[in-house]
Amino acid sequence: MNGPGTLQRRLGLGDAVVIGVGSMVGAGVFTAWAPAATAAGPALLIGLLIAGVVAFCNATSSAQLAALHPESGGTYVYARHRLGDGWGHLAGWGFVVGKTASCAAMALAVGAYVWPAQERLVAVAAVLVVTAVNLGGLERTAQVTRVVLACTSVALVIVVVAGWSTEGVSLSRLEPTGASAFDVLQSAGFLFFAFAGYARIATLGEEVREPQVTIPRAITRALAGVLVIYAVVGVTAVAAVPVGDLGSTDAPLRALMEASRLDAVAPIVGIGATIASFGVLLNLVPGVSRTVLAMSRRSELPGAFAHIDGRRNLPVRAELTLVGVIVVLIMVLELRSAIAVSGVAVLTYYAITNAAALTLTGDERRWPRWVAALGLVGCVTLVVCLPFRAVVGGVIVLAVGVALRLLTMGPVRRRSTGA
């Protein structure tokens, strides 16, 4: 039953899988190859495998926890139940920070492919369009995501065909030479940016039917499909284009197209990248706003964000405030910096997810305990290996969130005790 001030359970398994895949197959697959190639050269494919393993561990932990705690908020909710309020807040804040930076990166990717000379202007316009669509309702969002995913798939098929038609394409380019273990791990940290969308499914706890069954199935199915897609695209890109060319641009798949015999249709890939980025934004913005909603309900963010608009049945205040912050980030961050900052915060979020999953009992557990432990170690390792300035910046922002909670919760506790 759904009453006033609650979200509606309108989504089935197919909708949840589409939203998850649509959240992952987006700007990441069109942009993350560039910083990964700069970090590790051809060895980025090993980084892709590592990122995929960490993503799988995180996905299984998320699925187990989501089945037991089917509420909006994802690990913010799980960690509160399993580890305590402080860890829950850090997870929620990490998700908000990381995914807000991700939204800025997605929008900048649109600008990089559509009109590089006016990248930021195009990015802001993309965010405003997404906001208009999302305010039309989540059911409409799921329908639009299906169309977006179909268009993105067509673009990626064209990329793969073009890559293998390129003069000089060779599997010998896949040999991972000249990269250290640290370089490979840093590339994995960048490539993880392309996997993290499955968290969007976990934030749908109050909006899917039979969440205990639907959420675990949707997360694992979405991730498995995306792993296959990324492996095919990654191998094609490295085999077809000198790795230095991949690393020298914010639009690496456009560089692949321009080097191929199908360079005349290169604009189609730009359109595909734009549609894909739009699709991810379409799902990320409401996902982050729902974590803000959950945190506001517990007075860990301003209570005004806990309001659900009666006519639209959406957290409109939270979503519009988030959009304003994204626009600011678009104006001050470069694409690669946005990816790195997002990685620090989102990997912190998933480290807490795995820590929470380690507390599950035998009856509650659906996967072996070592999977969550591997995910925890993997997340911490990838954070440490990201660029130093991004790590420092991310840690500072996370620390600011903790400090704000201590300042905000102090007066709340004093009022509740009558002090």
Task: Give strand pairing partners of 314.
Answer: 309
pLDDT at residue 333 greater than cutoff 80: yes
Angle between helices 181-191 and 33-40 (to 10 degrees): 180
Query: Read out DSSP for 22-70?
Result: HHHSSHHHHHTHHHHHHHHGGGHHHHHHHHHHHHHHHHHHHHHHHHH--
- Angle at CA of residue 105, ends 80 and 231, nearest 5°: 85
Cβ count near 334 (within 10 Å): 12
**CA neighbor of 94 nearest in space, from 383, 303, 334:** 383
Q: Is the pLDDT of residue 321 over 90?
A: yes
Residue 158 reports pLDDT greater than 70: yes
Higher pLDDT, residue 135 or 346: 346
Q: Does residue 2 sit in helix, strand or coil?
A: coil
Most distant CA pair in the chain: distance in Å? 76
The model's confidence at residue 412, banded by pLDDT at 50, 70 and 90, is: low
Quote the DSSP letter at residue 11. B
Angle, alpha carbons 32-74-202 (nearest 5°): 70
Which tokens is 251 given?
Answer: 């639009």
Whole-angstrom Cα distance, residue 69 to residue 54?
A: 22
Task: Report d(CA 340, CA 391) in Å as an integer.
Answer: 8
Name which of 406, 145, 131, 120 is nearest 289 in CA terms. Answer: 131
Report how far residue 263's alpha carbon sits from residue 256's, in angstroms, rounded to the nearest whole number. Answer: 9
Q: Per residue in 355-365, is it b (16+ CB within 10 Å) or e — as a string?
A: bbbbebeeeee
Confidence of residue 376 (pLDDT cuts 50, 70, 90): very high
Beta bridge partners of 309: 314
| pLDDT score for 417 | 43
Does residue 113 contact residue 267 with C-beta atoms inside 8 Å?
no
The tokens of 382 are what?
Answer: 């990838």
Higher-scoring residue by pLDDT: 408, 230: 230
Mean pLDDT of 236-244: 94
Q: Which residue has the higher pLDDT, 342 or 284?
A: 342
Mean pLDDT score across all residues of the chain: 86
Domains of the chain: 22-411 (1.20.1740.10)
Rg (CA), the chain: 20
The pLDDT-based confidence of 50 (bands split at 50, 70, 90) is: very high
130 three-state secondary structure: helix
**Per-residue confidence (pLDDT) for residue 26, from 0 to 100:** 78
